Amino acid sequence: MDCGPAPPGGAVASMNQRRTRMNKAKLPAGLNTLVVYLAVALLSGCGEEYLQSTINPVTDYGEVTQNLYVQVFWWTMVILVVVLAVLAYILVRFRERPGQERPAQIHGHMGLEIAWTIAPALIVVAIVIPTIQGVFEVQRPPDGKALVVEVVGKRYWWSFHYPELGITTANELHLPVGRPVSLRLESGDVIHSFWVPQLGGKRDVNPVVVMPQGEESKRNWMHFTIKEEGVFWGQCAEFCGEAHSLMGVRVVAQSEDEFQGWVESWKTPAPTANVPAAPAGEGAGAGLASALPAPGPSAQDPRMDAGAQAPVAEDPLVARGREVFFRESYCVLCHAIEGTQAPGIIGPNLTRIGSRLTIAAGMLENTPQNLEAWLRDPHAIKPGAQMPAAQAGVTYEGQTFPPTNLNDEQIRALAAWLSSMR
Partner 1 sequence: MSVATGTLKAAPAAHAEAAGLWSWVTTVDHKRIGIMYFLTSFFFLFVGGLEALLIRIQLMRPENAFISPETYNQMFTMHGTTMVFLVAMPMAVAFFNYLVPLQIGARDVAFPRLNALSYWIYLFGGLFLNSSFLFGAAPNTSWVGYANLTSLQFTPGRNVEFWIIGLSILGVSSIAGGVNFITTIINLRAPGMKLMRMPLFTWMTLVTSFLLVTALPVIAVALIILGFDRFFGANFFQVTAGGDPILWQHLFWLFGHPEVYILILPSFGIISDVIPTFSRKPLFGYPVVVYAGILIGFIGWGVWSHHMFTVGLGPIADSFFVASTMIIAIPTGIKIFNWLATMWGGALRFPTPMLFAIGVVAVFTVGGLSGIMHASAPVDLQQHDSYFVVAHFHYVLVGGALMGLFSGLYFWYPKVTGRMMSEALGKWHFWTTLVGFNLTFFPMHFSGLFGMPRRTWTYQAELNLETWNQLSTVGAFIFGAASLLLVWNVFYSLRKGERATANPWGASTLEWSIPSPPLHYNFPALPEVRSRDPLWDEAERREVEAATLSEPAREPQMPSPSFWPLLTALGVVLTWGLLMTHLWWAPLGGLAFTAFMVFNWAFQPAFR
Nearer to partner 1, 237 or 387 (CB): 237
Q: Which amino acid is at 166?
A: G
State the Cα–Cα distance between residues 49 and 53, nearest whole angstrom: 8
Q: 158 and 205 in contact (C-beta within 8 Å)?
A: no
Phi, psi of 168 (to 5 degrees): -130, 125
75 binds partner 1 (CB under 8 A): yes
Q: Are 296 and 265 in contact (CB under 8 A)?
A: yes
Cα–Cα distance, 271 to 250 (Å, whole number): 25
User: What part of residues 373-392 is at the interface with partner 1 (CB under 8 A)?
Assistant: 383-384
Exactly one of 24, 26, 28, 217 binds partner 1 (CB under 8 A); that residue is: 217
Tell which one of 40, 146, 148, 190 touches partner 1 (CB under 8 A): 190
Confirm or reject binding of residue 116 to partner 1 (CB under 8 A).
Answer: yes
Contacts of 266 (CB under 8 A, 6+ apart): 165, 166, 167, 169, 338, 351, 352
**Spacing of C-alpha 335 from chain mean position:** 23
Q: Is 231 in the site for partner 1 (CB under 8 A)?
A: no
What's at 97, amino acid-wise? R
Q: Verify binding: residue 30, partner 1, rule CB under 8 A.
A: no
8 Å CB contact between 170 and 186: no
Question: Is residue 304 a contact residue for partner 1 (CB under 8 A)?
Answer: no
Residue 308 in contact with partner 1, rule: CB under 8 A: no
Sheet holding 192-195, edge to edge: 172-176, 248-254, 230-236, 192-195, 203-205
Which CB sits closer to partner 1, 129 or 308?
129
Cα–Cα dist 58/65, whole Å: 11
* 12 in contact with partner 1 (CB under 8 A): yes
Distance CA 26, CA 89 (A): 10
Does 32 interact with partner 1 (rule: CB under 8 A)?
no
3 state DSSP class of 139: coil
Residue nearer to partner 1 on the CB measure, 109 or 327: 109
Q: Which of 2, 111, 117, 313 binds partner 1 (CB under 8 A)?
A: 117
Segment near partner 1 (CB under 8 A); pick from 113-121, 273-281, 292-300, 344-352: 113-121
In whole angstroms, how close is the CB of 245 to partner 1 at the nearest point?
Answer: 4
> Given the complex with partner 1, which of 233 and 259 has the nearer CB atom?
233
233 binds partner 1 (CB under 8 A): yes
- In this chain, which of 69, 182, 230, 300 binds partner 1, going by CB under 8 A? 69
For residues 47 and 295, which CB has a smaller minimum distance to partner 1 in the complex?
Answer: 47
Task: Note whether 47 binds partner 1 by CB under 8 A.
Answer: yes
- Can you tell me which of 237, 334, 336, 415 binds partner 1, judged by CB under 8 A? 237
- Contact, 34 vs 15, CB < 8 A? yes
Q: How far is CA 324 from CA 18, 209, 284, 408, in A?
A: 64, 39, 20, 12
Choose the binding region for partner 1 from 41-49, 166-174, 269-277, 334-342 (rule: CB under 8 A). Answer: 41-49
Q: Does 13 participate in binding partner 1 (rule CB under 8 A)?
A: yes
Asked if 271 touches partner 1 (CB under 8 A), the answer is no
- Ramachandran angles phi, psi of 409, nearest 5°: -65, -45
Q: Which stretch binds partner 1 (CB under 8 A): 194-202, 255-263, 287-295, 414-422?
A: 194-202
Residue selected from 25, 29, 36, 124 as contacting partner 1 according to rule CB under 8 A:
124
| x-marked contacts with partner 1 along 337-366 as a string, rule CB under 8 A | -------------------------xx---
Closest CA relative to residue 338, chosen from 416, 284, 404, 296? 284
Residue 225: closest CA among 179, 173, 185: 179
245 binds partner 1 (CB under 8 A): yes
- Residue whose CB is less far from partner 1, 137 or 323: 137
Please say which residue, 151 or 289, places its beta carbon nearer to partner 1.
Answer: 151
